[in-house]
């Protein structure tokens, strides 16, 4: 039976075409040639041929203790065959199989985003050996640390950093943004990106499935296969609905003794459009997001995000670019020695503040020395380093106070000045004596204001900024944006407390952060959104990942989630409405088995095409006919 099932499934399209030919021959024989016997024989053969694949699918479902749509159709077709309605049975099986064919083809289009991503995955690379010679190898044969040459117009095969050359990179496959980005030595590049011009050499950090591009493909595939709450409810509903239709059909026959009416009820009650309506919307919405650098982890994430009314954001690297620069340095000792020590500590950190300080030291021709064998991170405060000669503290005032560092009036004045200028302040102390006060600042993201306003226009009620930075710097950023609340000088656990507080107030909360320091808040919020990092922590912790660091992408994701949920509701309405109209048509005598199956298959295509509208959606604004209450 298994081999027969496989063969039937493999050749189902050919069987469907054969049934169409047989029905055409029957109509030709009956209406044109007036050979009634031949017409009947062709219809009988078509009925049997069509019933076989439908019945086999029904039997397979029964083996799994599932009463399927195929079972309803099989019983109806057999019933029509028994009472001599060969035309009805042939037409019903043909429409059912042809409908399945169209359904598969249109569903393939909703998954086109994953297919296009998969086709874009690099397969070969130009490996550079120690002598500088290149060799074409499979991407799977590359290891971390290998050097890869990428020529103009070539595809970057690995995640890595540029160690030689410069060029413009098209990262549309990663970020959804087709505008080329200039990159040079030290910059990160992603597998799947294209070099518009310039030759670069890349040191490999990740290969294949471990690259950001590979993880994007995996995430989108998993997300499209996951179910939304509506889809799970409908699946559960269908397990009761389909047997109920079968029982109703039996009752109709038992009460009326009208066998044709009973089998017509089975056909009209098929819940095909209802079963497929929610999943196809989910697949289309997630596919749209993937094309635009928005990774939504399944139907749950889409549904939850559509109901968010409170957005909580980190400041550094989220509202701001994260590309920081040192604005000023107040020194209270040997400046060059102090700066070398500070750079030695910060060079181990991935935090934007630390990277800015290391760059500043390099620009000042200061070498980061000495290497510190012991470095500990104190969450929300900074770093503590130790060697045989001294203990070094690098962080904020809380770290200094916790370690009994005395701050003089002059030093306090320097700190206050930096804070009043809106800088983030980094302090360095050696053996409990404050040596450096460093002011670091970065720029507001250019699309932050417009993106946040678009979110509010789409129905978001409250935007809150939570940051570990000082109050003055935080307020300076908030004053330029449509932000409702600001809470500064917070530890990571304080941010979690605020998120829980908002949830206790009845809000549905989304948290946007970098996925590293903010991972507890990302996990606590109803929806965690990792913005622009592509890091493992963001991918694992966040429910939605914005590969492109863009508030336009955030607004697009929010509106897309709302439209996807609205589209799901539309599809459910279409499906239920179709069944109701068919049953009404049956009662008044204008719908029969063949015409009922035709309308049923049309309704399936309607919900699929309705969902496909989501694939091409580009607007970050809701349509006028899609006004949703975010609280619902």
Residues forming a β-bridge with 149 = 126, 201
DSSP 569-625: HHHHHHHHHHHHHHHHHHHHT---HHHHHHHHHHHHHHHHHHHHTTTT---SS--TT
The reply to whether 314 and 461 lie within a common domain is yes
Q: HSE of 628 in the Cβ direction (CA atoms, 13 Å)? A: 28
Whether 314 sits among the annotated catalytic residues: the reply is yes
The reply to whether 535 falls in a domain is yes
The reply to whether 385 falls in a domain is yes
3-state secondary structure of 124: strand
The reply to whether 308 falls in a domain is yes
| CA distance linking residue 119 with residue 291, whole number of Å | 14
The reply to whether 396 and 539 lie within a common domain is no
Element (H, E) at 294: strand 294-296
The pLDDT value given to residue 630: 35
Pick the closest to residue 441 from 514, 515, 352 (CA basis): 352
The reply to whether 516 falls in a domain is yes
The pLDDT value given to residue 538: 53
The reply to whether 405 and 379 lie within a common domain is yes
Q: How many domains does the chain have?
A: 4
| CA distance linking residue 67 with residue 71, whole number of Å | 6
623 pLDDT band (50/70/90 cuts)? very low
The reply to whether 541 and 470 lie within a common domain is yes
The reply to whether 461 and 415 lie within a common domain is no
pTM of the model: 0.68
The reply to whether 332 and 427 lie within a common domain is yes
For residue range 122-136, what is the model confidence (pLDDT) as tens digits? 888 999 988 888 899
| CA distance linking residue 414 with residue 411, whole number of Å | 5
Mean pLDDT of the region 263-288? 81
The reply to whether 83 falls in a domain is yes
40 pLDDT band (50/70/90 cuts)? very high
Mean predicted lDDT score pLDDT of the chain? 83
The reply to whether 330 and 437 lie within a common domain is yes
Alpha-carbon torsion, ordered 607, 612, 617, 623, to 10 deg: -10
pLDDT at 222 over 70: no
627 pLDDT band (50/70/90 cuts)? very low
Q: Which residue has the higher pLDDT, 437 or 213?
A: 437
Pick the closest to residue 193 from 550, 555, 514, 534 (CA basis): 534
| CA distance linking residue 541 with residue 521, whole number of Å | 10
451 pLDDT band (50/70/90 cuts)? very high
pLDDT at 631 over 90: no
Mean pLDDT of the region 241-252? 87
Catalytic choice (314, 330, 423, 543)? 314
CATH code for the domain in which residue 136 is found? 2.70.150.10
624 pLDDT band (50/70/90 cuts)? very low
Q: Which of 38, 71, 89 is the last residue of a domain?
A: 89
Q: Residue 335: CB partners within 8 Å, gap ≥ 6?
A: 329
The reply to whether 514 and 425 lie within a common domain is no
> Counting Cβ atoms within 10 Å, is residue 482 exposed (0-12), middle (13-18) or buried (19+)?
middle
The reply to whether 196 and 344 lie within a common domain is no
Q: Residue 488: CB partners within 8 Å, gap ≥ 6?
A: 467, 468, 469, 470, 471, 473, 474, 475
The reply to whether 351 falls in a domain is yes
Lowest mean pLDDT among 430-444, 511-525, 587-601: 511-525
Contact 8, 16 (CB under 8 A): no
Lowest mean pLDDT among 176-190, 197-211, 325-339, 404-418: 176-190
Tokens of 254: 């038992």
Q: Which of 441, 459, 484 is the last residue of a domain?
A: 441
* Helical segments of 465-535, H only: 471-478, 492-504, 519-524
| CA distance linking residue 541 with residue 538, whole number of Å | 5
Tokens of 319: 């509202």
Tokens of 535: 């890091």
The reply to whether 201 and 133 lie within a common domain is yes
* Helical segments of 83-169, H only: 86-110, 112-120
The pLDDT value given to residue 179: 64
The reply to whether 314 and 354 lie within a common domain is no
CATH code for the domain in which residue 333 is found? 3.40.1110.10
Return the percentage of the chain with pLDDT > 90, whole number: 30
For residue range 480-504, what is the model confidence (pLDDT) as tens digits? 899 999 999 887 788 889 999 999 9
107 pLDDT band (50/70/90 cuts)? low
| CA distance linking residue 512 with residue 545, whole number of Å | 9
Lowest mean pLDDT among 4-13, 143-152, 337-346: 4-13
Contact 271, 607 (CB under 8 A): no
pLDDT at 375 over 60: yes
The reply to whether 513 falls in a domain is yes
Lowest mean pLDDT among 103-112, 315-324, 414-423, 530-539: 530-539
Phi-psi map region of 406: left, alpha, beta (phi>0 left; psi -120 to 50 alpha): beta
Mean pLDDT of the region 386-394? 85
Residues forming a β-bridge with 427 = 395, 437
Q: Which of 171, 206, 241 is the last residue of a domain?
A: 206
The reply to whether 228 falls in a domain is no
Mean pLDDT of the region 194-199? 85
373 pLDDT band (50/70/90 cuts)? low
Structural domain range at position 25: 1-89
Mean pLDDT of the region 253-279? 83
Q: HSE of 17 in the Cβ direction (CA atoms, 13 Å)? A: 4
3-state secondary structure of 384: strand
The reply to whether 343 and 404 lie within a common domain is yes
pLDDT at 519 over 90: no
Tokens of 392: 């070094």
pLDDT at 295 over 70: yes
The reply to whether omega before 370 is within 30° of 0 (cis) is: yes
The pLDDT value given to residue 103: 67
């Amino acid at each position: 039976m298994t081999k027969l099932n496989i063969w039937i499934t493999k050749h189902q399209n050919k069987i469907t075409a054969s049934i169409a030919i047989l029905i055409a021959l029957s109509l030709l024989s009956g209406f044109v040639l007036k050979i009634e016997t031949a017409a009947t024989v062709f219809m009988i053969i078509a009925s049997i041929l069509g019933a076989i694949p439908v019945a086999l699918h029904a039997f397979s479902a029964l083996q799994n203790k599932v009463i399927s749509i195929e079972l309803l159709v099989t019983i109806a077709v057999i019933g029509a065959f028994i009472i001599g309605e060969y035309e009805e049975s042939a037409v019903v099986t043909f429409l059912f199989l042809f409908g399945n064919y169209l359904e598969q083809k249109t569903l393939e289009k909703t998954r086109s985003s994953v297919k296009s991503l998969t086709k874009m995955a690099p397969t070969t690379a130009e490996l550079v050996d120690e002598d500088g010679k290149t060799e074409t190898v499979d991407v799977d044969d590359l290891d971390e640390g290998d050097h890869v040459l990428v020529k103009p117009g070539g595809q970057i095969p690995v995640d890595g950093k540029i160690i030689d050359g410069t060029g413009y990179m098209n990262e549309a496959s990663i970020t959804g943004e087709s505008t080329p980005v200039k990159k040079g030595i030290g910059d990160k590049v992603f597998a799947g990106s294209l070099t518009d011009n310039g030759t670069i050499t890349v040191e490999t950090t990740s290969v294949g499935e471990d690259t950001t591009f590979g993880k994007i493909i995996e995430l989108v595939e998993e997300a499209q296969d996951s179910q939304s709450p509506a889809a799970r409810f409908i699946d559960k509903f269908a397990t009761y609905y389909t047997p109920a239709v079968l029982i109703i059909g039996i009752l109709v026959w038992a009460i009326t003794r009208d066998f044709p009416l009973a089998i017509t009820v089975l056909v009209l009650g098929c819940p095909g459009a209802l079963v497929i309506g929610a999943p196809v919307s989910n697949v289309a919405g997630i596919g749209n997001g993937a094309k635009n650098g928005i990774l939504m982890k399944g139907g749950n994430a889409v549904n939850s995000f559509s109901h968010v009314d409170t957005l909580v954001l980190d400041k550094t690297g989220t509202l701001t670019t994260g590309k920081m620069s040192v604005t000023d340095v107040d020194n209270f000792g040997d400046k060059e020695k102090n700066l070398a020590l500070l750079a030695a500590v910060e060079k181990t950190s991935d935090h934007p503040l630390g990277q800015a300080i290391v760059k500043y030291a390099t620009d000042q021709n200061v070498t980061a020395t000495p290497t510190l064998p012991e470095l500990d991170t104190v969450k929300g405060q900074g770093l503590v380093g130790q060697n045989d000669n001294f203990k070094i503290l690098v962080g904020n005032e809380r770290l200094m106070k916790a370690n009994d560092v005395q701050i003089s009036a002059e030093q306090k004045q320097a700190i206050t000045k930096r804070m009043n200028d809106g800088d983030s302040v980094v302090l360095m102390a050696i053996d409990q004596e404050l040596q450096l006060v460093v002011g670091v600042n970065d720029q507001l993201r250019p699309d932050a204001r417009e993106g946040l306003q678009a979110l509010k226009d789409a129905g978001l009620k409250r935007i809150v900024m939570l940051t570990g930075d000082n109050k003055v710097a935080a307020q300076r950023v908030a004053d330029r944006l449509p932000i409702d609340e600001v809470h500064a000088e917070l530890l990571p656990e304080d941010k979690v407390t605020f998120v829980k507080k908002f949830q206790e107030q009845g809000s549905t909360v989304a948290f946007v952060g970098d996925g590293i320091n903010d991972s507890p808040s990302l996990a606590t919020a109803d929806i965690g959104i990792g913005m622009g990092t592509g890091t493992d922590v963001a991918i694992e912790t966040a429910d939605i990942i914005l590969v492109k660091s863009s508030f336009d992408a955030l607004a697009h994701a929010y509106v897309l989630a709302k439209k996807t949920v609205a589209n799901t509701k539309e599809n459910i309405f279409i499906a239920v409405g179709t069944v109701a109209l068919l049953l009404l048509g049956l009662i008044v005598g204008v719908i029969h088995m063949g015409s009922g199956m035709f309308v049923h298959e049309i309704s399936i295509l309607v919900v699929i095409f309705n969902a496909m509208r989501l694939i091409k959606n580009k607007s970050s604004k809701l349509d006028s006919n899609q006004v949703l209450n975010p609280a619902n």
